[in-house]
Amino acid sequence: MEVVVEVWGDLACFSRPDAKVERLTYPVPTPSAVRGILSSLYSKPREFYWQVNRIEVLNPIRTISFKRNEVKSKVRDKPIFTEEERTQRQTVALRDVRYRFAASICPRPDFTGTVAQLYAQALRRIREGKAFVQPSLGLREFVAYFAEADCANGPRPIPVDMDLGLMVYDVFDLHDFAVRKKTRSRLSLYHCVMKQGVIEVPPYDSPEVIKGDAPC
């Protein structure tokens, strides 16, 4: 069973971790970014997690480069004075994007309800256009619009093959849902290959997913 969602927007930036100074996007969304979009629509971390199965690229891959005003420091306990911390960073983003995401709901081991009920709630929220927070395409200001996908009559994936090498799979352990004051990160990677506009995403527990030895 799957939930299939069509997502589109004017701009997207799925930042590469190896681009430290400037923001440089991957050509396609990472599974982590897709999971973030789905979680903004429907999320119950103690009951289930989203497993992304497939990413379909529906619009041609186009990029745009521009400068953005940002602050050099991270927001912590102390206030930031933007006049002192302001800087410009180059951003290479994607423009005019449209994707179709297919994902499954994976219940936690101690989940006592029915999986069908979780799917019904997720589909109802998507059909009604509801979201816990506004979904975004990599950066908060890059708004993502969504609707339930029409697989039969919707647009077809682009006829492009691309080997994207190792790509970020996720930055968290999907099995760790404990509530902490400080979130633990755990980087995982996978070999991303797009065939005729379609990326098949392996399960998180698959040996194809390379995980860090310990949480950060």
Domains and CATH numbers, the chain: 3-211 (3.30.70.2660)
pLDDT digits (tens, 9 = 90+) for 79-113: 666 666 667 788 999 999 999 999 999 999 888 88
**pLDDT of 203 over the 80 cut:** yes
- How does the average pLDDT of the chain come out, rounded? 89
**pLDDT of 63 over the 60 cut:** yes
**What percentage of the chain carries pLDDT values higher than 70?**
90
pLDDT digits (tens, 9 = 90+) for 134-173: 999 999 999 999 999 998 888 999 999 999 999 999 999 9
In this prediction the pTM is 0.89
Residue scoring higher pLDDT (14 or 177)? 14
pLDDT digits (tens, 9 = 90+) for 105-127: 999 988 888 999 999 999 999 99
**Banded model confidence at residue 216, pLDDT cuts 50, 70, 90:** very low
Which residues are CB-contacts of 164 (< 8 A; sequence separation ≥ 6)? Answer: 26, 27, 28, 192, 193, 194
Sign for the pseudo-dihedral over CA of 100, 104, 108, 113? positive
